[in-house]
Structure 1
Amino acid sequence: MRPEILNSGYRPGTKLLFTLVRVFSGRPLPDAAKLVFYRPDFYGGPAKTFTHEAMRGPSQWSVGDRELMAAVVSQANDCAFCVGAHTATAEQAYRDAPKVRAVLTDLDSAPIGDGLRATLRMLTKLTRQGTVSANDMRQVLAAGVSRRQVEDALAVCAAFNVTNRLADAFDFERLTPDGYAAGARFLLKRGYR
């Protein structure tokens, strides 16, 4: 159930910003962006910093890889808003929509490297079961993934397990395909700040 405060509980300067975004973009600010402006000292600021570092900080994973991880984690959580947002962003980052769709349809036959496939399997298991074993990690490392890459993937997983739950708890409004595409362009240009 969507709390009304997420529609109206903002300071006048923030409301003005939302109006400017709507005027210049022709679209309302998505609920994910609105949430970080509500009580920014409690949730918004720390969440933006953590998510931006996970998704855009230095990593051996590409931006497309990390956006795909976000989409896969969101799919494991059945979070429709985030699946749409991060599928669109991964498609634009890779410039390869069929590749992204293939991963989300059938990970085993998708045209991706073994390391990414093993990592996505591990993230799916961690998201669904809340745990992974030492053997799961050995399989990821054996596929050529570095320890640092594992840490980076786990940061993406953590960020989106939180975001997915908030999106569902606050009933984030799903966007049109054009709305997701516009959001993806913004995320690729500006990141999560």
Structure 2
Amino acid sequence: MRLDILNRGYSRGTKVLFGVVRLFSGQPLPDAAKIVFYRPDFYGEHAKTFTQQAMRGPSAWSVADRELMAAYVSKVNECTFCIGAHTATAAQASGDESRVAAVLNDLDSAPVEEPLRATLRVLGRLTRSGSVDADAMRRALDAGATPDQLTDALAVAAAFNTTNRLADAFGFEILDPKGFAAGAKYLLKRGYGGRSAAGTAD
């Protein structure tokens, strides 16, 4: 059930901002963006800072890889909104929609590098069970992932296990393909903190 707070729980100035975004983009602001304006001192500002660092901060993983991780975690959680949003963003970032689809359809046979495959397995296991043991981490290291890469991937998983639950609890509106594509373009240009992300996308 969609909570009405996503429609009305904002100041007059914030509502004006939403209208300006819609005027210039031709699309309404997605609920994932709206929610950071609701009680920003409690959730929004912290979430923007953490997610921006996880998804656009310095990392050996590319932006496309991290967006693929977000889509994969969302698929494990069966979060319809976030699957659509981050499948579109990963596809735009990589320029390879079929590769993204292959990972979400069958990770074992998907055409990805072994360090990434092993890391996605760790994220999948963590998302399903809420824990991951040393053996799983060791297999990822043996496959070529570095400790820093695993740390960065776990940050992505933390961000999207939170966002997935918010999307389902608040009943985020599911966009059409055009809406998801517009949101993906925005995320690749501006990032998760609302500032320019030029130079970070692949």
The answer, yes or no, to whether TM exceeds 0.5 is: yes
State the identity as a percent: 68
1:35-92 Cα deviation digits (max 9, x unpaired): 0011111100000000000000000000000000000000000000000000000000
1:83-132 Cα deviation digits (max 9, x unpaired): 00000000000000000001011111111000000000110010001111
Cα distance between partner residues in 1 of 2:27 and 2:186: 12
Tell me the equivalent position of 2:6. Answer: 6
TM-score, with length taken from structure 1: 0.99
In the TM superposition, what is the alpha-carbon distance from 1:3 to its structure 2 partner? 2.0
Tell me the equivalent position of 1:82. Answer: 82
Any residues of structure 2 matched to 1:1-193 within 5 Å, and which?
1-193=1-193
Unaligned runs of 5+ in 2: 194-202
Give 1:143's aligned amino acid.
A
Length, aligned pairs only? 193
1:15-46 Cα deviation digits (max 9, x unpaired): 00001011111111100000001111110000
Runs of 4+ in 1 over 3 A off after TM superposition: none
Cα distance between partner residues in 2 of 1:132 and 1:164: 19
In the TM superposition, what is the alpha-carbon distance from 1:4 to its structure 2 partner? 1.3
Cα distance between partner residues in 1 of 2:111 and 2:162: 29
Cα distance between partner residues in 2 of 1:30 and 1:102: 26
Cα distance between partner residues in 1 of 2:52 and 2:151: 15
TM-score, with length taken from structure 2: 0.95
In the TM superposition, what is the alpha-carbon distance from 1:182 to its structure 2 partner? 0.5
What RMSD in Å do the two structures reach over aligned CA positions?
0.6
Cα distance between partner residues in 2 of 1:62 and 1:91: 13
In the TM superposition, what is the alpha-carbon distance from 1:2 to its structure 2 partner? 2.1
